[in-house]
Amino acid sequence: MSGDKPKMQRIEGHSEERFLGSDVFESSGRNLPPPNGAGTVREDARDIDIYHQCDVAVIGGGPAGCAAAWAAAKAGADVTLVERYNCLGGLSTGGLVMWIDRMTDWEGNHVIQGFARHFIDRMPADGVAGPPREDWGTRDEAKAAYWGQRTTAFHGIVQWAPTLDPERMKLNNQEMLLQAGVRIVFHAWAARPLVEDGAAKGVIFESKQGRNALLAKVVVDTTGDGDMFARAGAEFDTDIEEGDVHHSMNTGWVLGGVDMDRWIDWKVHNPDQLRQFMERGREELGFFQTPYVSWRPDIALFLGPRQSGLSALDVDDMTEVEIRSHRLMEGHCRFFRTHAPGFEHVFSLQSASQLGVRHTRRLAGVGRIERGNWGKGTPAADEVGISPSISPKFPVVSVPYGAIVPRQLDGLLVGGRHVSCDANSHGFMREIPQCWLTGHAAGAAAAVAANRGVQPRHVDVGEIRGILREQGAHLSDDIEVAAAGAAEEVAAQ
């Protein structure tokens, strides 16, 4: 194994808007040699025991999966959720991405609600850090400056984008799902979907018990990478902006024993010293990043230097990121202890158990969220959610039901960062609140399909919207949605 520092190149981001400014690094150095395997082996055919039969099988217990399972169970479906790790929450917990992106529009209106709002409302007060409700949407310079340094004010506008305690989030997800009646299966990796006559009928998963089958009327793919729909043969897209932050990976970590208020005060008032500090960090460590706030002022969050040119579908690439990141955690801890105000007594607290993946596959759906529609300000005819836009130049973004429905494959819906959208829209549709949003919609739709005995593509979107409203989601007025549908019909004639 080579211990050489990887060759590093900083890449300038190309996205029109970037909230969490950070270098993106690409390197050519590798810590492991390539594998020497060649040829194939044949696996014996075998019968697989059926573990369980249910209405809705949710594959992946991240933000989208938790929202989907909760929504489907609340709508009367028998739900089983399969999760490969030992906790729920995905990147928001196991990945330590505890910063929850914006759920308000640029006027301060709370547009991502439903599961998201229920979830945060249940969190203990000392596990939530963010601006008070009366400050959402304010352009007050002093408040925007304060919250801007705490990742919840952008373009001079305070937003509802809190930071949450990841351990409390794990428990909160678990208890919400158990109370809703969801069967949770931890330590189980869904290996492939069961497909019959062009429709998903369940999945095969691996665990310490071996291989088991889970049968379901509807499968919801919330793996984040589209593992189920891709292996079932559904179409997908992989295009993304090379060198952009959205096309990078990292492992996050947290450091304890810090004074984040002191650090923030120093970096705000000493920009020249901060630049020198950054350059020294890059010289000494190769990859380098400054911290974000956490839910406590004595804990610093590092989302890990973003490393581009590596694939989260390649096991060697993923291993490479982990090797580098664990070294970088220790290197950052030592560097900050020596050079950073507020970090004199810092210590390594925890590294993420999940790799920070931003993009692999995106569904090619019946519908699509596209950059060209950001400025329209009109709802989709099949709207199942509303997302904040990427900047004040745009109104809110209407999320169509078609974005979670495969073009051909039946029996399956998707939720999370792999919904159907273009590369630009993926930059915000991959964030945790948007994953809650699309997961919530997928779960409600899956319950309707299972309860009605119809394919997901044939469900009444009006019934889905009714369930979403009952569960607290924020949607456009039905009259506006009907008008959008009528306009589409006229345009199609």
Give the model's confidence band at 239: pLDDT under 50 very low, under 70 low, under 90 confident, else very high.
confident
Q: Which residue has the tokens 């891709």?
A: 230
pLDDT in tens, 373-391: 998 889 999 999 999 999 9
pLDDT number for residue 17: 47
pLDDT number for residue 14: 42
The CATH classification of domain 245-357, taken from the options 3.30.70, 1.10.287, 1.10.600, 1.10.3470 = 3.30.70
Whether the CA torsion 309, 311, 315, 319 is positive or negative: it is positive
Domains of the chain: which residue ranges? 48-127+165-240+359-492, 131-161, 245-357
How deeply is 271 buried, as exposed, middle or buried, from its count of CB atoms within 10 A (0-12, 13-18, 19+)? Answer: exposed
pLDDT number for residue 377: 87
Q: Which residue has the tokens 């920009």?
A: 271
How deeply is 132 buried, as exposed, middle or buried, from its count of CB atoms within 10 A (0-12, 13-18, 19+)? Answer: exposed
Least-confidence region, from 84-93, 108-117, 121-130, 311-320: 311-320
Instruction: Give CA separation, 27 vs 10, 95, 119, 249, 457, in Å.
Output: 9, 23, 39, 12, 43
CB < 8 Å & 24+ apart, contacts of 310-315: 310/248, 310/249, 311/360, 312/225, 312/249, 312/355, 312/357, 312/359, 312/360, 313/225, 313/360, 313/361
Q: What is the mean pLDDT of the chain?
A: 92
- Are the beta carbons of 388 and 111 closer than 8 angstroms? yes
pLDDT in tens, 346-377: 999 999 999 999 999 999 999 999 999 998 88
Q: Residues of the chain with pLDDT > 70: what percent?
A: 93
pLDDT in tens, 416-447: 999 999 999 999 999 999 999 999 999 999 99
Q: 48-127+165-240+359-492 belongs to which homologous superfamily?
A: FAD/NAD(P)-binding domain (3.50.50.60)
Q: Which residues contact 465 (CB under 8 A, 6 or more apart)?
A: 383, 384, 475, 478, 481
pLDDT number for residue 103: 98
Least-confidence region, from 7-11, 140-144, 273-277: 7-11
Mean pLDDT of 151-168: 97
pLDDT in tens, 333-349: 999 999 999 999 999 99
- pLDDT over 60 (residue 3): no
> Residue 189: what are its φ and ψ, rounded to 5°?
-105, 115
pTM of the model as a whole: 0.94
pLDDT number for residue 487: 83
Distance CA 377, CA 50 (A): 48
DSSP labels for 267-313? HHH-HHHHHHHHHHHHHHHSS----EE-SSTTEEEE---EEES--TT
Mean pLDDT of 304-326: 88
- Are the beta carbons of 386 and 377 closer than 8 angstroms? no
Give the model's confidence band at 246: pLDDT under 50 very low, under 70 low, under 90 confident, else very high.
low
Mean pLDDT of 225-236: 96
pLDDT in tens, 116-142: 999 999 999 999 999 999 999 999 999
